[in-house]
């Protein structure tokens, strides 16, 4: 396979389980478990998909990217306790749980990976009820500042600034809306190819990224308004004041 101008030809024959285990063990002999997750584990990888491994053990970096035989291999080091915390963390549970449910265990010296996969399969939204809502409200409220920056950039006709700030709203609040609505997603890619996440958010994202900079920025403001109106009933008085002020600024933007 050629990578064009780079002039690199690589052999991207499938990496076997034993090869992946050896790749990790050579770097981290202390590894206790290796779990293949992501698109390769699910069976929907494309030619350029990377290979995602979660590795249980001590002294393994939180994230390392390795180039191996034409593939990018991501190694995520976690402890058993950290994985269990991830499943209860509103910021990551919607992606962590399906990753473990569909993951394929390659190595499991002491049974930790099997136990974690069982925990993922037994997981339910009731375990994070309340914390998801509080996290979503606070996150949407916090992004009011980004929305105001979009408004200012539109007024000043600063297209690059408007587009940049608009993209932050779309990319950061997309997972928040999916989680708030109780939607698990196998990867963040699923949020942007319409296979997962909030359909309303995806439709809005198409307008943001499929338009000129200022039109897209206006579409991002409408997405923020959608997020704000969704979480507003659960907002505190302080949060509601922030949301109301931001939406009033959004109302001052001219829409053609």
From CA 121, how far away is CA 124, in angstroms rounded? 8
pLDDT in tens, 199-219: 999 999 999 999 999 999 999
Instruction: Give the list of residues 6+ apart from residue 18 with CB closer than 8 angstroms, or none.
Output: none
What is the distance of C-alpha 220 from the center of its chain? 18
Task: Report the C-alpha gap between 235 and 247 in whole angstroms.
Answer: 14
Pick the range with the lowest mean pLDDT from 8-12, 26-30, 82-86, 151-155: 8-12
**Predicted confidence (pLDDT) at residue 24 exceeds the cutoff of 70:** yes
Give me the pLDDT at residue 6, please.
47
CB 133 within 8 A of CB 180: yes
Which CATH number does the domain 4-127 belong to among 2.60.120.460, 3.30.460.10, 3.20.20.70, 1.10.3720.10? 3.30.460.10
Q: Residue ranges of the domains in the chain?
A: 4-127, 131-251
Answer positive or negative: Cα dihedral of 145, 198, 47, 209. Answer: negative
């Amino acid at each position: 396979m050629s990578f064009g101008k780079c002039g690199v030809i690589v052999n991207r024959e499938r990496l076997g389980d034993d090869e992946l285990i050896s790749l990790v063990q050579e770097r981290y002999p202390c590894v206790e478990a290796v779990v293949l997750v992501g698109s390769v584990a699910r069976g929907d990888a494309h030619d350029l998909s990377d290979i995602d491994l979660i590795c249980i053990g001590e002294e393994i970096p939180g994230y390392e990217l390795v180039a191996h035989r034409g593939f990018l291999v991501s190694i995520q080091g976690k402890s058993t306790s950290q994985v269990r915390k991830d499943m209860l963390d509103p910021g990551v549970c919607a992606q962590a749980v399906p990753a473990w449910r569909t993951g394929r265990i390659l190595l499991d010296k002491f049974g930790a990976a099997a136990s974690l996969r069982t925990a993922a399969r037994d997981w339910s939204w009731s375990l994070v009820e309340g914390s998801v809502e509080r996290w979503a409200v606070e996150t949407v409220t916090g992004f009011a500042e980004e929305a105001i920056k979009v408004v200012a950039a539109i007024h000043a006709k600063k297209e690059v600034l408007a587009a940049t700030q608009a993209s932050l709203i779309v990319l950061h609040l997309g997972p928040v809306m999916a989680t708030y609505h109780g939607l698990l997603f196998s990867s963040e890619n699923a949020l942007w190819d319409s296979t997962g996440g909030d359909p309303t958010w995806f439709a809005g994202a198409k307008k943001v990224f499929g338009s000129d900079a200022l039109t897209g920025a206006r579409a991002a403001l409408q997405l923020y308004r959608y997020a704000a109106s969704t979480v507003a009933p659960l907002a505190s008085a302080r949060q509601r004041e922030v949301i109301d002020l931001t939406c009033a600024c959004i109302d001052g933007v001219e829409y053609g």
